[in-house]
Structure 1
Amino acid sequence: MAADQLRGQYLVEALAACDNCHTPRGPNGYDLSARFSGGSQTFTGKDYIARGSNITPDKETGVGGWSDDAVSAAIVAGVGDDGQLAPAMPSDSYRVLTDADRNAITAFLRAQSPVKAQPMAPPQRQGKWSPHPAPGAEAAFDEAALSEKVKRGLYVASIARCLACHSTEVDDAPDYVNGLGAGGKIFRTPAGVAVASNITPHPEKGVGAWSDDEIKRAITHGVSRKGEALKPPMSNLAKAHFAKMSPEDLDALVAYLRTVPAKE
């Protein structure tokens, strides 16, 4: 596999976790025989209902007929072939992608086997949505930024959607002004209801008293400080995706989280 495709594979599998929304699930997890052909989960917000679409190179039901620019626009700007994508597509979190990384993701997706899937019902969308990128992650990073540990950590946190999932919400959107990293977002999964935890450095409410290794274990193994299994979706994401995170990115992510203002 070419170097850019390998980088794209890492970004897709270890950080962005694209399978989570775009690959159907079977009894044993992802159905990799139909990888990226469209997800099983339905995402519902106040103004939309949507499912992860077919992002294989199939020309009829996937993105095989899209230009590279069109694929990039879907990833980082949330624009599809029929207009604005629903907010379930976390394009705001992907705005930080460097040009090289954005192209690497496209190259990796182009190299996948095309899968002809049953056309999905058109997503129901009403109105337009304002973008909500995390502070400091409003625009594409350049390669030089990735050499700075804390900035690299922000880069990783944005792509992995740590902040979008672990910040408080107002009207279905993360409240980064008042609740950056403070937790509170509710997830309803087949396994039950889970509430995103506080990942700020608060010594009692957050992870301020956790060691770096304890934070890393939670991220990559889905295990709490006390050794208890975290609830889905974090446990699933940790084992299927974040466990593949490189030591350098994991170190940077923890370093960045230490800089987030502590919140109760």
Structure 2
Amino acid sequence: MLIHPGFDPVAVRIGPLAVHWYGLMYLLGFALFVWLGRRRLRHEPYRTLGWQPRDVEDMLFWGVLGVIVGGRLGYVLFYKPLDYLAQPWQIFAVWQGGMSFHGGLAGVLIALAIWARRQHRPWLQVMDFIAPCVPTGLAAGRIGNFINGELWGRVASPDLPWAMVFPAAGPLPRHPSQLYQFALEGLLLFALLWAYARTPRRTGEVSAAFLTGYGVLRFTAEFFREPDAHLGLLSLGLSMGQWLSLPMVVAGLALWIWARRRAEAT
């Protein structure tokens, strides 16, 4: 049985300034987005359409804005609406933690829709561009969760070779679900999407693959992740993360069908 190392969440201290590992993981995710985005410019149709490195940097700015605003509001609305209704000023205390991936995704969709409109570019074309560049950022975030010893997994059998005790969760061995999500939603999803997007696809198909792939992999990982204590398991024994992932799968499949029919019609 393994024991979580209990990393110091602060990576570097410079006088009163404390640089947290989780913040560094965010920065790593943003850097990977720029690096992969510049390589994505070599893919069709972006190479033919004359996309530039500056477009990648602009999308990062708008995407970060969407992640922060959408992620925070998503957490407020999906996970603790009554708590924040009673203390609405706490919505702005982002340094205390509390972000939702699904809310962050919605924020990115809206932010980049605005950017696409300003640049006179098709929104789905923009979404297809960024989709393969996102999973590495998700992977970095899950490593941050693991370092912080948070969002641990459900209780596991002591016979499981990689079962781990997270001191903050009590003495029982648990699944290191942060690492499961790192491997599934991060590395595996990236490898599949990047390979899929390297050849020209119908507009919307790469976005559809991301929505479906993430939804399925997140739904699967949630079986090993401890549900939020204040929510527990909801209807049908599913967690909030699973219920929020189901619409992603449905939307991805619907977008895939639409993209194919639209291409056939033209």
Which one has more relative contact order, counting CA pairs under 8 Å at least 6 apart? 2
Q: Tell me which protein shows more helix as a share of its residues.
A: 2
Q: Tell me which protein shows more strand as a share of its residues.
A: 1
Same fold (TM over 0.5): no
TM score, norm. by length of structure 2: 0.31
Q: Which has the larger radius of gyration?
A: 2
TM score, norm. by length of structure 1: 0.31
